[in-house]
Amino acid sequence: MRLAAVGDLHCKKTSRGAFEALFAAMADAADVLVLCGDLTDYGQADEARVLVEELAAARQVPVVAVLGNHDYESDQADQVKGILGDAGVKLLDGDECEIAGVGFAGVKGMGGGFGTRALQPWGEEVIKRFVREAVEEALKLESALAKLTSSQRVAVLHYSPIRETVEGEPPEVFPFLGSSRLEEPLLRYPVAVALHGHAHYGRFEGRTRSEVPVYNVCIPVLERLSLGHPPYWVVELDPAGSPSAVGRRLRAV
């Protein structure tokens, strides 16, 4: 199976026609489209409707997605979810799905930082709530992965599970770009690959402590790679069924 992944579309009300060629190229290159959050710019229902119109260019190729922080900006996230779901997008929020024998588990994720410098639930109540939210997102991801019985699993996130793919951003904002807590489920449940967005100035590729490849597929990062085709990344899953994946740069047909 080939997955064509991209994040941080930031679709606006004025974006009609902006993504049609991208989605058509992704559909030509892969069996499944994966969208890694910030699907809309201000989290508005009208933006989601425009995105659905653009996705028609994908020609019935399955679409798996998670929301990002921008999709919550206008307190219309439930409407955004409904519009995308009605259009056939498999929107994951602590959920799982299986397509052609490959399992997908997804969450938005949350910040909090990485390693020994990660924010801890101590002090003011607002800090404790922030950390609890990060823990809850990690638990949702773990629950979704645990329910999958497929030999191949793919983790879809918006926030990064590792520090490596946010490097390049100002260090001051690292804690707001991801959390090591999101890496823990990936260590307990073997996955072929993890895909995320959010870190516009981060690195494209990294690995978890268990050597799982992690790709930051937000559009600004992919554009810097000069792929020779619209900004998406294709991952070809190992046909042998082992929990590994190989990313390939493929030209759109």
State which amino acid sits at residue 93: D
Chain CA centroid to CA 150, Å: 20
The pLDDT assigned to 250 comes to 37
- State whether residue 211 is helix, strand or coil: coil
Q: How are strands ordered across the β-sheet holding 213-216?
A: 95-99, 102-106, 152-156, 193-196, 213-216, 205-207
Written in H, E and C, the secondary structure of 99-119 is ECCEEEEECCCCCCECHHHCC
**In order of start, what are the domains of the chain with their CATH numbers?**
2-248 (3.60.21.10)
10 Å CB burial of residue 157 (0-12, 13-18, 19+) is buried
Structure tokens at 181: 């807590």
pLDDT digits (tens, 9 = 90+) for 215-246: 999 999 999 999 999 999 999 997 654 444 45
pLDDT digits (tens, 9 = 90+) for 130-177: 999 999 999 999 999 999 999 999 999 999 999 999 999 999 999 999
pTM strictly above 0.85: yes
Residue 223: which residues within 8 A CB-CB, separation 6 or more?
Answer: 231
Chain CA centroid to CA 39, Å: 10
Residue 42: which residues within 8 A CB-CB, separation 6 or more?
Answer: 12, 70, 73, 74
Q: With contact defined as beta carbons under 8 Å apart, do 35 and 67 qualify?
A: no
Taking the C-alpha atoms of residue 133 and residue 33, their distance in angstroms, rounded to an integer, is 28
The pLDDT assigned to 238 comes to 76
pLDDT digits (tens, 9 = 90+) for 31-50: 999 999 999 999 999 999 99
